[in-house]
């Protein structure tokens, strides 16, 4: 028996009631997910887990320097070694995820401008009590004699883990997902980058959103994360030195 209920049609003859509904002929199962996107995002999930909880495997009685080196090593395993292994297994060229240094000379100016804006803000924030409690990560008490050798060793590992962080968030995620999601890959990478800043001072967490967006756009243009590594190291060094100066440590 004919259905006598009337349906309004759009300009293409499609019932208006069906507009906005998913096409039932299209499967929404995970088996139809893009293979590259699935590999990168699943790897990212495991990397985030290792980066967050891997430190629980270290011995509880470590000295401060040993503990911080162990933390930096965990970050490098999570954000550099695991993604690199996945790239090699699944045929993703490292140059596609930002490891190339080709053409960097043409892109240094925006990064220099970013430092010009960021460094005064870092120095200003270094006067806050919350900042001084947090930094440097290798603890130094107010007025204490600094162990320069230990601090230099720590800074070397600290810098190395920034290579891991930038290669992961700007390289593996932004550049790795860009062929699939375009510039939206910057937004995708912003969320986990913000998540790793939840334990830090609120202003730094907010700044991580801005940093992820700006650095993500810049890496899409340069196709390399190395200038981002330099920016990250310079900012982090300024944070540590500013905090130490506010604490009045003895060098």
149-179 per-position pLDDT tens digit? 999 999 999 999 999 999 999 999 999 999 9
Q: Which residues, given as ranges, of the chain have pLDDT below 70? A: 1-33, 250-251
Does 25 map to a domain? no
Decide: 219 and 171 in contact? Cβ < 8 Å. Answer: yes
Distance CA 13, CA 201 (A): 56
Is the distance from CB of 139 to CB of 64 less than 8 angstroms? yes
* 23 inside domain: no
For the chain, how many structural domains are there in total? 1
Nearest 5°: CA angle at 80, between 63 and 205?
75
- Say how many CA atoms lie within 13 Å of 198 toward its Cβ: 6
pLDDT, position 1: 44
Q: What is the 3-state secondary structure (H, E, C) of 47-80?
A: HHHHHHHHHHHCCCCCCHHHHHHHHHHHHHHHHH
Give residue 31's pLDDT. Answer: 63
Per-residue pLDDT tens for 62-73? 888 999 999 999
Please tell me the predicted confidence (pLDDT) of residue 148: 87
| Domain-embedded: residue 11 | no
**Domain assignment present for 67:** yes
Structure confidence at residue 232 (pLDDT) = 95
What would the two tokens of residue 240 be? 């540590």
Collapse the DSSP code of 237 into the 3-class scheme (helix H, G, I; strand E, B; otherwise coil) and give the result. Answer: helix
Domain hosting residue 149, numbered range:
34-247
Q: In this predicted structure, what is the pLDDT of residue 82?
A: 98
- Cα Rg of the chain, angstroms: 23
Please check whether residue 208 is in contact with residue 91, taking contact to mean a CB–CB distance below 8 angstroms. no
- Please check whether residue 146 lies inside any domain of the structure: yes
In a domain, residue 142? The reply is: yes
pTM equals 0.84
Task: Tell me how far apart the alpha carbons of residues 249 and 166 are, in angstroms, rounded to a whole number.
Answer: 31
Q: How far apart are CA 163 and CA 46, in angstroms?
A: 19
Q: Is residue 13 part of a domain?
A: no
pLDDT for res 17: 45
């Amino acid at each position: 028996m004919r259905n006598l209920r009337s349906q309004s049609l759009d300009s293409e003859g499609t019932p208006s009631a069906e507009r906005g509904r998913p096409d039932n002929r299209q499967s929404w199962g995970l088996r139809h997910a893009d293979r590259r996107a699935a590999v990168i995002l699943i790897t990212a999930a495991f990397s985030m887990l290792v980066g967050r909880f891997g430190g629980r495997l270290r011995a509880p009685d470590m000295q401060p320097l040993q503990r911080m080196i162990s933390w930096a090593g965990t970050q490098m395993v999570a954000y550099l070694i695991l993604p690199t292994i996945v790239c090699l297994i699944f045929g993703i060229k490292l140059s596609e995820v930002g490891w190339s240094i080709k053409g960097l000379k043409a892109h240094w100016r925006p990064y220099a401008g970013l430092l010009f804006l960021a460094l005064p803000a870092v120095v200003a924030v270094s006067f806050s009590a919350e900042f001084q409690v947090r930094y440097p990560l290798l603890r130094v008490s107010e007025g204490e004699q600094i162990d320069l050798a230990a601090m230099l060793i720590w800074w070397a590992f600290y810098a190395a883990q920034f290579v891991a962080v930038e290669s992961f968030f700007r390289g593996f995620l932004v550049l790795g997902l860009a062929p699939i999601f375009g510039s939206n890959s910057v937004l995708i990478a912003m969320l986990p980058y913000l998540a790793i800043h939840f334990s830090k001072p609120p202003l730094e967490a907010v700044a991580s959103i801005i940093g992820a967006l700006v650095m993500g756009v810049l890496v899409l243009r340069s196709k390399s994360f190395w200038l981002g590594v330099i920016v990250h190291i310079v900012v982090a060094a300024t944070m540590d030195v500013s905090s130490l100066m506010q604490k009045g440590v003895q060098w």
